[in-house]
Amino acid sequence: MGDQATGLLSPWLREKRLKMAGPYLKGRVLDYGCGVGALAPMCKPDAYLGIDVDRTVLEIARRKHPQFNFVSGVSEAETFDTITALAVIEHVPDPVALLRKFKRMLKPKGHIVLTAPHPSVEWLHALGAKIGLFSREASEEHQQLISYERMQELGANSGLVLEKYKCFLFGGNQLFVLRSP
| Higher-pLDDT residue of 172, 137 | 172
| Amino acid identity at 8 | L
What digits encode the pLDDT tens for the residues 19-44?
A: 999 999 999 999 999 999 999 999 99
What digits encode the pLDDT tens for the residues 57-102?
A: 999 999 999 999 999 999 989 999 999 999 999 989 999 999 999 9
β-bridge pairing 161-168 and 106-117: unpaired
* Alpha-carbon gap, residue 142 to 122, rounded angstroms: 10
| Domain architecture of the chain: domains with CATH | 10-27+81-179 (3.40.50.150)
What digits encode the pLDDT tens for the residues 156-169?
A: 999 999 999 999 98
Indicate if the pLDDT at residue 126 is higher than 80: no
132: left (phi over 0), alpha (psi -120 to 50) or beta: left
pLDDT tier at 133, thresholds 50, 70, 90: low
Task: Look at residue 12 in the predicted model and tell me its pLDDT.
Answer: 76
